[in-house]
Amino acid sequence: MTATFDVINPATEQVVDSVRLVTAEETDAAIARAAKAFPAWRAVAPGDRARLLRRFADAVDADLENLARLEVLNAGHTIGNARWEAGNVRDVLHYYAAAPERLTGRQIPVPGGVDLTFAEPLGVVGVIVPWNFPMPIASWGFAPALAAGNTVVLKPAELTPLTAVRLAELAHQAGIPEDVFQVLPGKGSVVGQRFVTHPLVRKVVFTGSTEVGKQIMAGCADQVKRVTLELGGKNANIVFADADLEKAAAAAPYGVFDNAGQDCCARSRILVQKSVYDRFMELLEPAVLGVVVGDPGDEKTEMGPLISHGHRAKVRSYLPEGAPIAFQGKAPDGPGYWFPPTVVTPSGVRDPLAADEIFGPIVAVLPFADEADAIAMANDTDYGLSASIWTRDVGRALRVSRAVEAGNLSVNSHSSVRYWTPFGGFKQSGLGRELGPDALAAFTETKNVFIDTEG
Ligand code: NAP
Ligand code: MG
C-alpha cells in the first residue's frame, strides 16, 4: 500500500491535491541513481553545464505565473510574493549558471615541483526544504550544488511539495538528466533521515527549525558528513531616537508580517529607544491596523493565512488570557488558518514572546536606554540570523552593525536576501552561508596535488 498526503490550501482548508509519499527504500534507490549519475554529470563540459542551468532558468521564467499560482494555492503566499519567489529561483539559476566556467583552482609556488589546488564536487547532495519559502530555499541548495558538479536529491516539506515537483519537471524538460536532480516528496523522519544516514549522500543542506537542525548535525557527525544549516531567528529591529521614525514605523509591519511572520528573517523584536517609544507606538498602530489580510490570490492582499491548523494553534498558544497585547489588526474568520497581525509588549527579552521564534504575525516591542543597552538586548538570544538598525548617524550604524551577533544586517531597511550576497546565521541560527560566491565553496571539496618535477 502506498501512502499519500493530502495537500491543503491554507486559505480555504480545501484539499487541492494528493501526493504520494516516497518510502525509505525508494529514497535509497534514488540516492543510488544520483550516485551513479555523478561521474557523468561532473564530466559535462563547464559551458554545457552552464547552458543547461540557463535553459532551466528560462523554463522557470516561462512557467513563472503557474509556479506562483501553485504557491498561492499550496502555501497561502500572496500572489505578489509568490511571483517574486519564482523569479528568485530563475535569478539564482542564472547567477550560478555563470559558475561552472569560473570555478577554477590555484597553483601555489612550491620547491621541487608544481602544486595544484582543485575545487572538486562532493557527489550526491541532499537538500531538505521547509514549508515557509518552498521555492527560493530549494533553489539556494540545488542551483549552486548542480553548478559545482554535484547531483541532487531534494525533499520538500510534506505540507508544500507542489512547486518542488514542478521545478523538477522543468529541470528535466530543460535537459538536466532525471537522476541528476530528483525531488522526493515525503516525511522528514523517512526521506530526510535517509539523507542524513545514507553513506552515499556526501552533504546535507537543511533549512528549518533549530531543534531539527541540531538533530541533523548530530546525525551527520557519525560520517563527518558536510552540512549547511539555515535555522531559526528572533531578529531585532533596533530603532534609535535619531532615526526617521515615520519611515521606521511604516516599514516595521512589512519587516515582520510578510509571509504572515513565517520567515526566519522576520524582525519579530522591535527595540525602541525610550525617549521616542511613545511616539513610535503612535506611528506603528495605524501601520499595523492597515495591513490588508485576506485572499492571497488578490493583488491587493498584503498578508495571507498561516500554513496549517497545527501551526496556528502553536502561534495562538503565545497569547493566553491576559497576554500583553498592545494592538491587533483584523483577519478573516474562516475557513482558512487566519491570524491577525499582533503587537505585544512583553516585560523583557527573555519573556517567551520576545525570545521564542513564534513564526507567526506577532511582534514584541521593547524599550532600551542607550546604544550599549540596545546591543546587549539584541545579542541576548541564542539566535543570530539578521537585524535592522534605524538611525541617521553613520558611525552608529556601523558600530552597531559590527557589534550585533548576526549574519545579515540592514541599515534603514529590512532587506536581507539578495541572491548575489551571502546569507546565513551566527550562533544557533545556522552554520555556513548560502547564496553569493560563498555558497560555491560549500558545494566543493578542496583537493591539493603535488607533482615532483625533479625526476
Ligand atoms: P522542521 O520540522 O524543522 O522541518 C523542516 C524540514 O525538515 C521539513 O522538510 C521536514 O520534513 C524536515 N524534517 C523534519 N524532521 C526531520 C528529521 N528528523 N530528519 C530530517 N528531516 C526532517 O520545521 P517545521 O516543523 O516545518 O516548523 C517548525 C518550526 O521551525 C516553525 O514553527 C519555525 O519556528 C521553524 N522554522 C524555521 C524555518 C527557517 O527558515 N529558519 C523554516 C521552517 C520552520 P516534514 O515537515 O515533511 O516532515
Ligand atoms: Mg517539524
Q: Based on the domain organization, do 209 and 253 belong to the same domain?
A: no
State how far the Cα of 193 lies from the Cα of 218, in Å rounded to an integer: 12
pLDDT score at 334: 87
Question: Does residue 172 sit in the same domain as residue 246?
Answer: no
Say if residue 282 is in the same domain as residue 198.
no
Q: Ligand 1 pocket test: pick from 154, 209, 359 the residue with the most ligand atoms within 8 Å of its Cβ.
A: 209
Q: How far is the CA of 131 from the centre of ligand 1 (A)?
A: 8
Residue nearest to atom 13 of ligand 1 (CA): 188
Position 328 in a domain: yes
Options 230, 302, 357, 434, the catalytic residue: 230
- pLDDT given at position 148: 98
Residues 184 and 292 grouped into a single domain:
no
Residue 361 · residue 339 · CB < 8 Å: yes
- Does 394 share its domain with 439? no
Q: Which residue type occupies 400?
A: V
| Ligand 1 site, residue 386, Cβ cutoff 6 A | no
- Of all ligands present, the nearest one to the C-alpha of 204 is 1
* Residue 158, domain member (yes or no): yes
DSSP string, 207-228: ES-HHHHHHHHHHHHTTT-EEE
Task: Specify the 3-state DSSP secondary structure of 439.
Answer: helix
- Considering the domain architecture, whether residues 57 and 95 belong to the same structural domain is answered as yes
- The answer to whether 230 is a known catalytic residue is yes
Yes or no: say if 68 and 83 are a contact pair by the CB < 8 Å rule: yes
As a whole number of angstroms, the distance between CA 390 and CA 272 comes to 10
- At 1 the pLDDT is 56
> Does 423 fall in a domain?
no
CB hemisphere CA count around 270 (13 angstroms)? 29
Cβ(209) to ligand 1 under 6 A?
A: yes
Q: What is the pTM of this model?
A: 0.98
**Closest approach atom of ligand 1 to CA 213:** 3
pLDDT in tens, the chain (455 residues): 579 999 999 999 999 999 999 999 999 999 999 999 999 999 999 999 999 999 999 999 999 999 999 999 999 999 999 999 999 999 999 999 999 999 999 999 999 999 999 999 999 999 999 999 999 999 999 999 999 999 999 999 999 999 999 999 999 999 999 999 999 999 999 999 999 999 999 999 999 999 999 999 999 999 999 999 999 999 999 999 999 999 999 999 999 999 999 999 999 999 999 999 999 999 999 999 999 999 999 999 999 999 999 999 999 999 999 999 999 999 999 899 999 999 999 999 999 999 999 999 999 999 999 999 999 999 999 999 999 999 999 999 999 999 999 999 999 999 999 999 999 999 999 999 999 998 999 999 999 999 999 98
Could you please report the per-residue DSSP string of 270-312? Answer: EEEEGGGHHHHHHHHHHHHHT--BS-TTSTT--B---S-HHHH
Calpha distance 34→267 (Å, rounded): 39
Tell whether ligand 1 has an atom less than 6 A from the beta carbon of residue 155.
Answer: yes
* 405, 379 Cβ separation under 8 angstroms: yes
Work out which ligand 1 atom sits closest to the CA atom of 429. Answer: 41
Indicate whether 369 belongs to any domain. Answer: yes
**pLDDT at position 455, please?**
85
Longest Cα–Cα distance of the chain, Å, equals 83
Question: Residue 277 is placed in which grid cell?
Answer: 517609544
Q: What are phi and psi of 368, to 5 degrees?
A: -130, 160
Distance 279 CA to ligand 1 centre (A): 38
Q: CB of 129 closer than 6 A to ligand 1?
A: yes
Cα–Cα dist 295/77, whole Å: 9
Question: Pick from 82, 65, 75: which is nearest to 8 by CA?
Answer: 75
Is residue 119 situated within a structural domain? yes
Burial class of residue 112 in the structure, from the number of CB atoms within 10 Å of its CB (0-12 exposed, 13-18 middle, 19+ buried): exposed
Task: Indicate the pairing of strand 362-368 with strand 269-273.
Answer: parallel
358/407 same-domain check: yes
Residues 265 and 394 placed together within one structural domain of the fold: yes
Residues written for the chain: 455
For residue 186, tell me if it sits in a domain: yes
Report how far ligand 2's centroid is from the alpha carbon of 394 (Å): 41
CATH number assigned to the domain comprising residue 40: 3.40.605.10
Residue 399 lies in a domain: yes
Same domain, 149 and 169: yes
Nearest to 233 by CA among 411, 355, 111: 355
CB-based contacts of 263, cutoff 8 Å, min separation 6 = 132, 133, 359
Host domain of residue 65 = 4-231+428-452
* Substitution site in 128, 258, 265, 381 for ligand 1 pocket (most atoms within 8 Å of beta carbon): 128
Secondary structure element (H or E) that encloses residue 71, with its range: helix 64-75
Measured in Å, residue 364 CA sits from the centre of ligand 1 at: 23
Atom of ligand 1 nearest to the CA of 156: 9
Site to substitute for ligand 1 among 133, 212, 217, most atoms within 8 A of C-beta: 212
Helix axes 134-147, 46-62, angle to 10 degrees: 160
Task: For residues 223 and 351, state if they share a domain.
Answer: no
Q: DSSP of 368-419, one letter per residue?
A: E-SHHHHHHHHHSSS--SEEEEE-S-HHHHHHHHHHS--SEEEESS-----T
Could you give the CA distance from residue 16 to residue 30 in angstroms, rounded to a whole number?
Answer: 27
Q: Ligand 2 centroid to 216 CA: how many Å?
A: 12
Amino acid identity at 146 = L
**Within a domain: residue 100?**
yes
Half-sphere exposure of 285 (CA within 13 A, CB side): 9
Ligand 1 pocket, residue 163 CB under 6 Å = no
Angle at 410 between CA 409 and CA 411, to 5 degrees: 125
Q: Tell me which residue has cell 561521474.
A: 39
**Ligand in nearest proximity to the CA of 206:** 1
How many domains are there within the chain? 2
Say how far apart CA 388 and CA 215 lie, in whole Å.
30
On whether both 136 and 279 belong to a single domain, the answer is no
Ligand nearest to the CA of 356: 1
Burial of 429 by CB count in 10 Å (0-12 exposed, 13-18 middle, 19+ buried)? buried
259 contacts 359 by C-beta, under 8 angstroms:
no
Q: Which residues contact 84 (CB under 8 A, 6 or more apart)?
A: none
**3-state class (DSSP) for residue 231:** coil
- Which CATH number belongs to the domain containing residue 282 in this structure? 3.40.309.10
Whether residues 331 and 252 share a domain: the answer is yes
